Amino acid sequence: MSLPRLMEDYMKSLREFANIFFKNKFGVVGVAILSVFIFMAIFAPQISPYNPMDVKSIGIGKPFSPPAWIKIFNKDIPDDSVFGILGTDELGRDIFSQIVYGSRISLLVGFAASFTAVFIGTIIGLVAGYYGGIIDEVLMRFADILLIIPGLPLMIVLAAILGSSIRNIILVIGITSWPSIARIIRSQVLTVKEMKFVEFARAAGCGDNYIIFKHILPNVMPLVYVNAAINIANAILIEAGLSFLGLGDPNNISWGMMLFFAEQYQALLRLAWWYIFPPGICILLVVLSFIFIGHALDEILNPRLRLRR
């Protein structure tokens, strides 16, 4: 088959899938919200008025100033006590800029960590499920141990040891998340393995690699996608949590880190809602979009409306 034809077929089935996907309300809302944030992340320098990592942006406004638009409700507030769209933090930096740039970290870590976990988990799940026997036992014991050791505490330890950089956070989340994916993939592989067409392929003399990649993997992929979406959501939440505990990368600003600083500098006491509300809402929305997308995929790919013949 020629490449143009393959691409044509692929695009057709993609279009068909998109059709069905966008009929699902959760899917539409999820993709819509996600698009906003992806746009924000890509065009951060254009959208945000200041670069929060730039030393010059410190002290742009008075520290802990509420946003400018509250003047609509209270005209008596002096002009230099308010600032910008979302006010300022403890160092007088613009919060809106931090929010915009923060989207980059959350999305980056979310995608990368999840990709790592899904990649490792799928491979291990495939191998364990397909070959069975000792390989399966060993791999699954290993996965079980990782599942038993408490997740967040383990990540805290690893992050504190390895040092806080984006790469390490991604690694830490990826390494601790693959077991649950591996288990799910493995049980699906076990089911697919029993199906007739695999038997036929083997009888026709196909090699193991061929069977795994050409027959089993395509039947496992839908499950992988659903889990990937949920995994990204979890990864983003975990990154936010680790940053909140102070284990985030100090060279970058993420939404979790904003809340870390907020807590450290008594934003709660000062009732600085403009510092606390926005980062959390952003985390919520991004995570929500992935959860919605995952749920939409689950509804579509899960044959709960089985027709009886």
Q: Give the interface with other proteins as residue ranges (CB under 8 A).
A: 20, 23, 26, 141, 144-145, 148-154, 156-157, 160-161, 233, 237, 240-241, 244-245, 256, 259, 262-263, 268-269, 271, 273, 276-277, 279-280, 283-284, 287-288, 291-292, 295, 304-309
Query: Based on CB atoms, which residue is closest to other proteins, 60 or 139?
Result: 139
For tokens 């409306």, name the residue. 305
Query: Based on CB atoms, which residue is closest to other proteins, 149 or 195?
Result: 149
CB of 254 to other proteins, least distance (A): 12
Query: Based on CB atoms, which residue is closest to other proteins, 52 or 279?
Result: 279
User: For residues 137 and 98, what is the distance between their CA atoms, to the nearest angstrom?
Assistant: 47
Output the CA torsion sign for 18, 301, 217, 144.
positive
CB of 186 to other proteins, least distance (A): 17
CB of 138 to other proteins, least distance (A): 11
User: For residues 91 and 81, what is the distance between their CA atoms, to the nearest angstrom?
Assistant: 14
Q: Residue 61 is encoded by which pair of tokens?
A: 């406004």
CB of 202 to other proteins, least distance (A): 25
Query: Based on CB atoms, which residue is closest to other proteins, 1 or 161?
Result: 161
Q: How far from each other are the two terminal CA atoms of the chain, in whole angstroms? A: 35
CB of 261 to other proteins, least distance (A): 12
Query: Based on CB atoms, which residue is closest to other proteins, 203 or 305?
Result: 305
Angle CA(101)–CA(105)–CA(111) in degrees, nearest 5? 135
What b/e sequence results for 184-209 when a residue is b if at least 16 CB atoms lie within 10 Å of its CB, and e otherwise? bbbebbeebbeeeebeebeeeeeeee
Do residues 239 and 173 make contact, with C-beta atoms less than 8 angstroms apart? Answer: yes
For tokens 């040891």, name the residue. 161
Do residues 234 and 177 make contact, with C-beta atoms less than 8 angstroms apart? Answer: yes
CA-based nearest residue to 179, from 156, 204, 151: 151
Neighbours of 47 (CB within 10 A): 16
CB of 59 to other proteins, least distance (A): 25
Angle CA(18)–CA(297)–CA(25) in degrees, nearest 5? 70
Query: Based on CB atoms, which residue is closest to other proteins, 105 or 126?
Result: 105
CB of 251 to other proteins, least distance (A): 20
Query: Based on CB atoms, which residue is closest to other proteins, 49 or 150?
Result: 150
Query: Based on CB atoms, which residue is closest to other proteins, 104 or 295?
Result: 295
CB of 46 to other proteins, least distance (A): 27
